[in-house]
Amino acid sequence: MTVERFPVWVLVILATIVWGATLFILGTPLSWEHAVPYSITVTTLSGMLFCYDRWIWAWRGFRRLHGVPDIRGTWRIAIETTYRDPNTGERRPTVHGYAVIRQTYSTLSIRLITRDSASALTASRFIIREDNTVELAGVYQSDPVVHLRGRESEIHYGAFKLSVAGTPPHVIDGHYWTDRSTSGTIRYQRLSPTIADSYDDAEKLSSSSG
């Protein structure tokens, strides 16, 4: 199955419609007195859903129910690519860097950072198979540093499909493809639950972890 992100505001609107329609069908006159317990219920429910989306979903017992892996933190990455330098025609060596992952139940942000570029998700989806194996599919935009544009690399887009391994996850790997007719493999290895704000911060985390 795929994990869908369902906005809370849709649930609130639907609950309001169902509540009002039910009272109307039962012949109960609608008044502001009915709104008081309902507003309390909606406020409480919204708060609970907010807490679930931000924190509770990641608790071990709940993860067993919904199957979404907790992959928050900073990861080391290694990229093997078919891309060739336009100036020399040589295939690039393995690219090393970091992936910084921010996650709630309803959102996922993955930012890949190397010395020469940064990539960010534009769309993503977890795919949970019947045997409980988990895959992650997505589309991203890659932005090389300014001095490389027009010389070695340009802004480009790509897609990927990755397998998430381990409980808790410790390795993520798979393939990617780009609109530059290149492809390759990518491997994530968990570094730290700490979120690095930059490449230098990730380097410090890597150095301190050995």
Q: What residues does each domain of the chain span?
A: 8-54, 73-209
Q: What is the residue-level pLDDT of the chain in tens, covering all 210 positions?
A: 444 455 566 666 777 778 778 878 888 777 777 667 767 777 787 788 888 889 999 998 888 888 999 999 999 999 999 988 777 888 889 999 999 999 999 899 999 999 888 999 999 999 999 888 999 999 999 988 765 665 667 888 999 999 999 989 999 999 999 998 899 999 999 999 999 999 999 999 999 886
Q: Report how far apart, in Å, the C-alpha atoms of 8 and of each of 45, 53, 114, 124 are.
A: 10, 10, 36, 19
How far apart CA 176 and CA 32 sit, in angstroms, is 56
The count of other CB atoms within 10 Å of the CB of residue 45 is 14
pLDDT at position 151, please? 60
Q: Which residue has the tokens 């380097």?
A: 203
pLDDT at position 2, please? 42
- Do 157 and 140 meet the contact criterion of CB atoms below 8 Å apart? yes
Structure tokens at 174: 């798979």
| CATH hierarchy code of domain 73-209 | 2.40.128
Torsion over CA: 168, 174, 180, 182 (sign): positive
Give the residue among 126, 114, 101, 86 at the shortest CA–CA distance from 192. 101
Q: How many helices (H) and strands (E) does the chain have?
A: 4, 8
Q: What is the H or E stretch that residue 113 is in? A: strand 108-113
Residue 36 phi, psi dihedral angles, 5° rounding: -65, -60
pLDDT at position 19, please? 75
Give the residue among 48, 53, 43 at the shortest CA–CA distance from 15. 43
Q: Report how far apart, in Å, the C-alpha atoms of 149 and of each of 1, 89, 90, 144 are.
A: 40, 17, 18, 7
pLDDT at position 178, please? 95
Spatial CB neighbours of 98, under 8 Å, sequence gap ≥ 6: 74, 75, 76, 77, 112, 113, 114, 191, 196, 199, 202, 206
- Do 188 and 99 meet the contact criterion of CB atoms below 8 Å apart? yes
